[in-house]
Structure 1
């Protein structure tokens, strides 16, 4: 980290990084790591010295040089970043204490005079862990997928302490080029659909910026929601249950995840409206407009091995935020057949896959940033997010159990806060489990555990429907 670099020069922030420092889009990524053993702070600090501190972002602070924001390398004092609160080991209701502790973190911005990350180590037994580590990282340091991958690159397989975790690799779709007239017809038809879907999506996107708002529901935030304290809860489901539905209905895990989300929200809102309908009948008003904003990182995420090599050997790898948007509508209603939730979700996602919405929204955002500056870009981003209801994301995780600097992990639950929405859902795969992490504004959603239960119950109902209809065909 040479002195010359500490005193002069530096790397300019990317346009997206500058956007995340705008007052109304000041976002942070937060990641909970439940451990199966007590955490040894000295071991963790030694591990950070050998890994995370070798990444340029984690050893650089934000400076303003001639009016431009830059990352400048600096010497990191781990005592300023690894926070070990003095806890009462006999505290009553430890789960509630943990939620309150993390919620209080969202009240305080980070100190810009040092690198924008911190790790809280809480040696306190909760219902699903012996201790918990909590990373808080400013979103300007990278996109969520890259930062979680970087954290995973600091871990090792519990069964092999020298090996980095292995993650599933997405299979490329096979070519359907069989030659002849029908292939040409399908290619032309797909091209026409791509153009039409993109045109419609961009018109809706522009309308959302100008006037098109989601329906005011019990989960829709009010003005200033981005400034409110957030609350974080999580639950765990069996990944095999999701795979069972996926294989039975010939769809992807993301299709099932969004179907579960659609079903869980419908159950929760039906209870919230409670208009006095008879048992089993819907309380939900018709024609609710409820959309989720999905932020898509257009830069391929570096592999865990690549990131581990970068920290160990100083090799180079791609890094940074290249973010586009997808606005995904949910159908909010009680369905007689639970499988309709996932079938509807798959149809919506399949249509979005045949659109250039994410790429064009990224290009438009870049143009606005370069021509009109950060303030205008932040105002537009704020309107898009505020005029929709929520955000959803999902990440692939390790196939096997892993250890964080020798501490076996029970779960991983990342999330985000600081954007103008009252609800964010994140699905994180880890080993044979899927963690559902919720970030909510408790002024809007005072009972996030109930919503989490509804999501878990929805998966159970969908799985039971698959078994009842005997749709399973040699599910692996």
Structure 2
């Protein structure tokens, strides 16, 4: 994304690079209440213990997933050979201001809100599919209508494990001025679970999303996956690393991504960009979800396998409706 934006300029000032928020995913700083050094030391020790424990649990989960631990079969799960089939890409815009309203009211980050909205949207979609399937068997209708409480649905999420080089640094590098910035990505990936259930309080989706995101932030899982992949490539070759990556993707349900974009309209070689809608294909999953911000919009982009998800536009509606319901639940509780 930094490379793409380094090739663009502001529509209002053709000589200026785009402006990207630097605190997109940071939570507002909490007021400091503990000033004593002993309490600070205890807090650091507690944080280290949590980081160590979370990393250990994530490494065990990662290893188990690469060997045998699979997600629960759902209407979103891809079948064998899904990576060889074409993908259908659809997208829809929602208001970034609505997401920011939820963020401010819940004292969390935009990423936390998007995790909650995704959980709510997937729950709505799977509930509908469950009801449709129940129509074929009226005898077990009540039993089938409710989603299983132990449903396991996880996504693979790529994580940048170094500070982003920045748009200005890449622009200078393309002009031939070497300031130490290097090309390429330095990424690991984590397994991000989505809880599927029907909440009476819509804000519970955001609360659970925040808890899941906080849990993953206090872990070195991304660094572990990067280092382990690097070690496998050196010792066993690229084919072994690719096979491991393939198994991880086939044992999970979807891929998830959230990227921050410019806050103003930009031009690409004099051509204004109406929207940004990134996506991907060729991986062994039937569903890929991208969230991409641009100006005052958030674009939801889905890449789906038509044979698995025949109604992707309905899934987009479920995401938009989930955000609307969560946004409308704020005034009564703020």
Distance in 1 (alpha carbons) for counterparts of 2:160 and 2:145: 37
2:250 pairs with 367, 371, 386, which one? Answer: 386
The answer for the alignment partner of 1:189 in structure 2 is 46
Does the residue aligned with 1:427 lie in a helix, a strand or coil? strand
The answer for the alignment partner of 1:18 in structure 2 is none
Deviation at residue 180 of structure 1 after TM alignment: 2.5
The answer for the alignment partner of 2:86 in structure 1 is 229
Question: Residue by residue, what CA displacement relative to the aligned partner does 1:212-257 show, whole Å, maximum 9, x if unpaired?
Answer: 0001100000111111110100000110000000000000000001
Deviation at residue 405 of structure 1 after TM alignment: 1.6
1:299 pairs with 148, 162, 176, which one? Answer: 162
In structure 2, stretches of 5+ residues that fail to align are 136-140
Question: Residue by residue, what CA displacement relative to the aligned partner does 1:82-105 show, whole Å, maximum 9, x if unpaired?
Answer: xxxxxxxxxxxxxxxxxxxxxxxx
Distance in 2 (alpha carbons) for counterparts of 1:394 and 1:381: 21
The answer for the alignment partner of 1:403 in structure 2 is 267
The answer for the alignment partner of 1:312 in structure 2 is 175
Q: How does 1:145-224 map to 2 (within 5 A)?
A: 148-170=1-23, 178-224=35-81
Is the Cα contact below 8 Å between 1:382 and 1:420 reproduced in 2?
A: yes
Deviation at residue 172 of structure 1 after TM alignment: 8.9
Deviation at residue 283 of structure 1 after TM alignment: 3.1
The answer for the alignment partner of 1:24 in structure 2 is none
Distance in 2 (alpha carbons) for counterparts of 1:157 and 1:320: 25
Question: Residue by residue, what CA displacement relative to the aligned partner does 1:108-127 show, whole Å, maximum 9, x if unpaired?
Answer: xxxxxxxxxxxxxxxxxxxx
The answer for the alignment partner of 1:240 in structure 2 is 97
Please say if 1:331 is aligned against 2:195. yes
Q: Per the alignment, do residues 299 and 187 of structure 1 end up closer, same or farther by CA in structure 2, a change over 3 Å counting?
A: closer
Is the Cα contact below 8 Å between 1:254 and 1:394 reproduced in 2?
A: yes
Larger Rg: 1
TM-score, with length taken from structure 2 = 0.92
Stretch of structure 1 that moved more, 444-453 or 311-320: 311-320
Is the Cα contact below 8 Å between 1:271 and 1:283 reproduced in 2?
A: no
Distance in 2 (alpha carbons) for counterparts of 1:228 and 1:299: 34
Distance in 1 (alpha carbons) for counterparts of 2:45 and 2:251: 35
Question: Residue by residue, what CA displacement relative to the aligned partner does 1:247-270 show, whole Å, maximum 9, x if unpaired?
Answer: 000000000011110000000011
Q: RMSD across aligned C-alpha pairs, in angstroms?
A: 1.8
Distance in 2 (alpha carbons) for counterparts of 1:282 and 1:431: 40
Deviation at residue 314 of structure 1 after TM alignment: 4.5
Distance in 2 (alpha carbons) for counterparts of 1:233 and 1:174: 37
Stretch of structure 1 that moved more, 320-329 or 364-373: 320-329
1:436 pairs with 280, 300, 308, which one? Answer: 300
Q: How does 1:232-311 map to 2 (within 5 A)?
A: 232-274=89-131, 275=134, 283-311=146-174
The answer for the alignment partner of 1:37 in structure 2 is none
TM-score, with length taken from structure 1 = 0.65
Distance in 1 (alpha carbons) for counterparts of 2:185 and 2:330: 39
Please say if 1:425 is aligned against 2:289. yes
Structure with bigger strand share is 1
By relative contact order (CA 8 Å, sep 6+), the higher-ranking structure is 2
Does the residue aligned with 2:93 lie in a helix, a strand or coil? strand
